[in-house]
Amino acid sequence: MGFEGTLLVNILRTVAVILFAVLFGQIVTVIFHDYVGTIVVLLWLYVFWKIANGYLLVSLPEEDDPSEAIPPIAGSATNSPKKEGSGQSSGKSRG
């Protein structure tokens, strides 16, 4: 769709520039080409971007806590539960 749409927009823009050259002369054609042609191309890019994002991006289900949407990496510090008495100390008190 992207290639075909871009090709179609450029063919229509080229035909319009030729018609403006035949009907209105050089100055009007240059203004049309420079300003209207650029706006048409930018509008096509915007439309294509919106359509493509509708197909490419997947919406995540809404949750209360956004950090739960991404599963934690196994063995990471935030994922491993803390066990009581499993610190650096060997259980002996230093005194």
Cα–Cα distance between 49 and 44 in angstroms, integer? 8
DSSP 67: G
64 within a domain of the structure (yes/no): no
Higher per-residue pLDDT: 53 or 93: 53
Cα–Cα distance between 12 and 40 in angstroms, integer? 10
Helices 2-24, 37-56: inter-axial angle, 10-degree rounding: 170
What pLDDT shows up at residue 55?
A: 78
Mean pLDDT across the chain: 78
What pLDDT shows up at residue 80?
A: 52
DSSP 75: T
91 within a domain of the structure (yes/no): no
39 within a domain of the structure (yes/no): yes
46 within a domain of the structure (yes/no): yes
What pLDDT shows up at residue 2?
A: 82
Cα–Cα distance between 35 and 2 in angstroms, integer? 23
What pLDDT shows up at residue 60?
A: 66
Tally of domains within the chain: 1
DSSP 70: S
Higher per-residue pLDDT: 84 or 17: 17
What pLDDT shows up at residue 35?
A: 94
77 within a domain of the structure (yes/no): no
pTM: 0.54
With a cut of 90, say whether residue 88 has pLDDT above it.
Answer: no
